[in-house]
Chains A and B, each alone.
Chain A
């Protein structure tokens, strides 16, 4: 986790308000990232501004050029992948698949450069959005188990709950309900007030299937704001 913390930039960029992003903000973030491509926070905040302005293609093009210039910047690849994920809810059903597939390749590159918790969690979680028929759930579980190992060696952080949720979802997608419930219960002990774990543990059968299905609906925007990483240092 120390690694992730170090990667969060010391840059003091003024954040963008919930509804007030402007094209000038995008210019500012792009300039910042051009100076430090590996700045996870600047990249994350840049993308949140992009979402507000629906400038998805500009963002994708920017990261494409950025990773070409900084091919060792693992976090640039991570943000590059997220740039595709951010576009998914605004895309048609088929384009969603193409975007998701491209995002996965950038997450993989990020892991190849530096296997951080956030990269492993992100790729692992992304695999879970794929329909069962593609058989990607085991790949997701593998990444999430790795992320779980990493977080257990770190102090407990608020965002660690995500791995408990997603790993359980992964087991559920592999039809291993017992393991799914065990990992959700383990998470619930550490995060007793977490509603997403309570929701899962209070459901079963069709009701649980519907709940997870709706959670992993690609038409719903996935929160790709990484602020939790630097809010719980």
Chain B
């Protein structure tokens, strides 16, 4: 009798597994089929410290997603870093194939002897409803105005953004709520010429408390095509080795706060005072850490209506920092729940993105990792020989051992953390075939074929990228919103959307480029699971105005404009193009 019950239970469990599609692969590698043929190449420096720098600059593989031509399909820009290497603008053909149009657009030339591309950011600096492009570089950044005819114009010089930044990241949001998107640039090295340094003392002075990095620069948008450096006035006096920044409204007070992740030292948390200034409340918000912050992404992983933060650090046999999953306490303080949620150890972490890949209504998390995957020999003993040498001057590049062909935290498997109803995460990367061992850097998430399933582009350092098409079986509902604001910044960066369906309210928002070396779509996506009814959608616009939409059918992409009572259907299916 007991045996029969067990068998029946097993059979019914098996049916349930099949119904849920457990065991099936929901991502397909379509890189080559999509027409993505390039590979990223690291910069090789030509200076007396080149052999040292080679090991520490395996960076610059980035992806930035935007619908630059307004055809309703997300396109993307990717960076190379080699001298003479071309950056790419992949125009979406609407059928999950892409064409590189960077040369024609005037965006290909981003890497010369004095500049190496590190990241890219789309944002509409002149409120003409066309995404413009900032190419973030070791050396000097480039700002390109989107002319709307498939071409871009370099406006760096006239914009007020020209200058040595050695930047590695940037985010754009309207910090002073004047209707114009401002730019926060994060710099790794201090503003020296890293291509021809005049001194060898430009490396981090400490592994845990380094304050000789490039910090953060705030560019306030003047609304006339120019920017003013307002770093000091805004309250930023940072000299850390910035690797990433992420903004969101942490306390739901209507303005955007900022998390700054720093290599070799303390991450910083800035609360927006609502008057064009910020206050550094690191100690209260997150405490003082000594880790290697790599990535910042915000998402409400536990569905409590507060945006949480995921930060990657370094975790390996020789350095067990652990990541941070900062659960928002609602009072501008955060508690790290990475251990409890099994998101603590992802190796040498880089970009991580919250998104709902299985449309079950919970924010999942994809994390890429790995520093240098090269020869069999490990670089770890070399670096620790240096670290334990008495009175070592770390700022002097000459004291650092060359990496040569050795590996450091290489060949690490990527993680796709499935959100288990807000209580924790389980790694499903192997199941879905997204556990590659290339040295991942950036993740661009978007619904490239407008089918309601979020796809991923992964930028790898010194390697080919991965382009994963989401093939989730039918049966789960979804909805997407592309927001526009004729009154405030045109792409409504900072707008929050609260969607109620099936008795639950989900929170998401329009972000201006969160995540290391990666910008995802500016659409807001919600998985709805089996729910076929959306009870209510509340949008809180950057202006502070609130708008409620009711009885929207699911499985559509809506365009919503601030002040307009009805949502328009943007484009339903790829086949309609």
Contacts and interface: CB of A to CB of B under 8 A. Distances in A.
Interface of A: 91-95, 97-98, 101, 131-134, 217-219
A133 B317 contact: yes
Contact of B208 (A94, A131, A132, A134): A94
B387 A98 contact: yes
B387 A94 contact: yes
Nearest to A91: B290
Contacts of B314: 93
B57 interface: no
B138 to A, nearest CB: 24
Contacts of A131: 317-318, 380
Contacts of A92: 207-208, 289-291, 321
B65 to A, nearest CB: 34
Interface in B81-97: none
B274 to A, nearest CB: 34
Nearest to B378: A133
A101 B392 CA distance: 15
A115 to B, nearest CB: 25
Tell me which of A93, A101, A134 has the highest count of chain B C-beta atoms within 10 A of its own C-beta. Answer: A93
Contacts, number: 46
17 contacts: A92-B207, A92-B289, A92-B290, A93-B208, A93-B319, A93-B321, A94-B387, A97-B384, A98-B388, A101-B388, A131-B318, A133-B318, A133-B378, A133-B380, A134-B380, A134-B384, A218-B320
B474 interface: no
B409 to A, nearest CB: 11
B381 A93 contact: no
A94 B320 contact: no
Contacts of B290: 91-93, 95
Contacts of B320: 93, 217-219
Interface of B: 207-208, 289-291, 314, 317-322, 378, 380-381, 384, 387-388
Tell me which of A91, A95, A131, A134 has the highest count of chain B C-beta atoms within 10 A of its own C-beta. Answer: A131
A131 B320 CA distance: 10
A133 B378 CA distance: 8
Contacts of A97: 318, 384, 387-388
Nearest to B206: A94
Contacts of B321: 92-93
A94 B207 contact: yes
Give the 3 A-B residue pairs with the shortest CB-CB distance, closest first: A92-B290, A92-B208, A94-B207
A97 B319 CA distance: 9
Given A92-B291, A95-B290, A131-B318, 20 more contacts: A92-B207, A92-B208, A92-B290, A93-B207, A93-B208, A93-B291, A93-B314, A93-B319, A93-B320, A94-B319, A97-B388, A98-B387, A101-B388, A131-B317, A131-B380, A132-B317, A133-B378, A217-B320, A218-B320, A219-B320
Contacts of B318: 97, 131, 133-134
Contacts of A93: 207-208, 290-291, 314, 319-321
Nearest to A217: B320
A98 B207 CA distance: 12
A216 to B, nearest CB: 10
Contacts of B378: 133
B267 to A, nearest CB: 13
Contacts of A132: 317
B383 to A, nearest CB: 9
A212 B322 CA distance: 17
A134 B388 CA distance: 13
Nearest to B315: A93
Contacts of B322: 219
Nearest to A98: B388
A217 B317 CA distance: 10
Contacts of A218: 320
A98 B289 CA distance: 18
A172 to B, nearest CB: 15
Contacts of B289: 92
Nearest to A218: B320
A101 B314 CA distance: 21
Contacts of B384: 97, 134
A93 B409 CA distance: 15
A93 B209 CA distance: 12
B365 to A, nearest CB: 21
Nearest to A135: B381
A159 to B, nearest CB: 27
B381 A134 contact: yes
A101 B384 CA distance: 10
A50 B390 CA distance: 26
Tell me which of A92, A133, A218 has the highest count of chain B C-beta atoms within 10 A of its own C-beta. Answer: A92
Nearest to B266: A92
A95 B317 CA distance: 15
Tell me which of A94, A101, A219 has the highest count of chain B C-beta atoms within 10 A of its own C-beta. Answer: A94
Contacts of B291: 92-93
A92 B388 CA distance: 14
A218 B381 CA distance: 18
A132 B380 CA distance: 11
Nearest to A220: B320
A91 B289 CA distance: 10
Nearest to B317: A131
A93 B292 CA distance: 10
Contacts of A98: 387-388
A85 B289 CA distance: 20
A217 B208 CA distance: 19
Contacts of A217: 320
A97 B387 CA distance: 8
Contacts of A219: 320, 322
A74 to B, nearest CB: 24
Nearest to B319: A93
Nearest to A93: B319
A95 B381 CA distance: 15
Contacts of A95: 207-208, 290
Contacts of B380: 131, 133-134
B208 to A, nearest CB: 4
